[in-house]
Amino acid sequence: MKYNVKNYESLLSLQETEIAIKLVKDTFERKLASKLDLLRVSAPLFVDPNTGLNDNLTGVEKAVDFILQDGKKRLEIVQSLAKWKRYALKKYDIAVHKGLYTDMNAIRPFEELDNIHSCYVDQWDWEKVIKKEDRNINYLKETVRLIYEALLETEEIVSKHYPKLNQDLPKEITFITSEELEEQYPNLSRKERENAICKKHKAVFLIGIGNKLKDGEPHDSRAADYDDWSLNGDLLLWYEPLNIGLELSSMGIRVNKDSLIKQLDEKKENYKLEFMYHKQILNDELPLTIGGGIGQSRICLYMLKKVHIGEVQASFWNEDYLEELKKENIHLL
């Protein structure tokens, strides 16, 4: 997708940008861990595909893989750690209402590269143990508000260090379901609906990603085996430099036994019930959890008022594209 950027001039030099990236990441990570009571842990870069631990994202993206030197084992680069984290909570014996987080780095060669999409993904993956009675919309909203508080406090600290980076976030985040959004904007596309609601409220959490809307299609596709489609959502911010609703996080209360079977059946992916991870859910061997991923570079893009994800992360872009960006005064790391 092409985003029209006119008369752009970065508010920070390249050196200032690198220093500011560290400030944003260190501050938000500390705030997030404190708000949600999370323990930092190490995480794998690759997993055995036969365990079912890799995230299939919407279910069609192919993970990058490689063969070990002995030629006998194929491993996959993680696409996210949505399933691995739930397994790790059990392994580390994390108590109820406590959790863990980690840096997740992934390669997604299928991404259509543009101002907000790169083939390199960096995010904080977090997961928290909950009780059966926490599996409801109110608990989801409470958790979103805590994450949003971490964003607000991070923005305040960044603005104190760099006064020219004006604060834009509203004090409260707005909640709306994908069904309500469809009712408000029935004649708009999915992305146009997100842009419209974000422009109106500036910070939005869109609830219910995966369930079908009136036209028989979901607002957006979601894998069937980690989020409960009725108890998940996307955190979106209005981003004036690009005139878009910018997704910072996808998160939700995870599937239990019943929602796992129902959603796999709807996607005709029942074969996954033979995987180790899925069997553990069916046998109540894994804790009930809530979790998500929060884009590190997306937060830096927003906080530092950049117009391209490549201004806050080092990734690959072809030479012709780089030359185009230079003409628009956009210089990537």
- Active-site annotation, residues: 55, 108, 123, 234, 247, 250
Dihedral in degrees, nearest 10, Cα atoms 217, 219, 221, 222? -120
Sign (positive/negative) of CA torsion 123, 77, 81, 90? Answer: negative
Residue 67 near residue 74, CB atoms below 8 Å: yes
Phi-psi category of residue 144: left, alpha or beta, with phi > 0 → left and psi -120 to 50 → alpha:
alpha
Overall size of the chain counted in residues: 333
Sole residue written with tokens 């595909």:
49
Q: How far apart are CA 166 and CA 159, in angstroms?
A: 6
How many angstroms separate the Cα of 230 from the Cα of each of 31, 45, 211, 261, 333?
Answer: 28, 30, 7, 14, 39
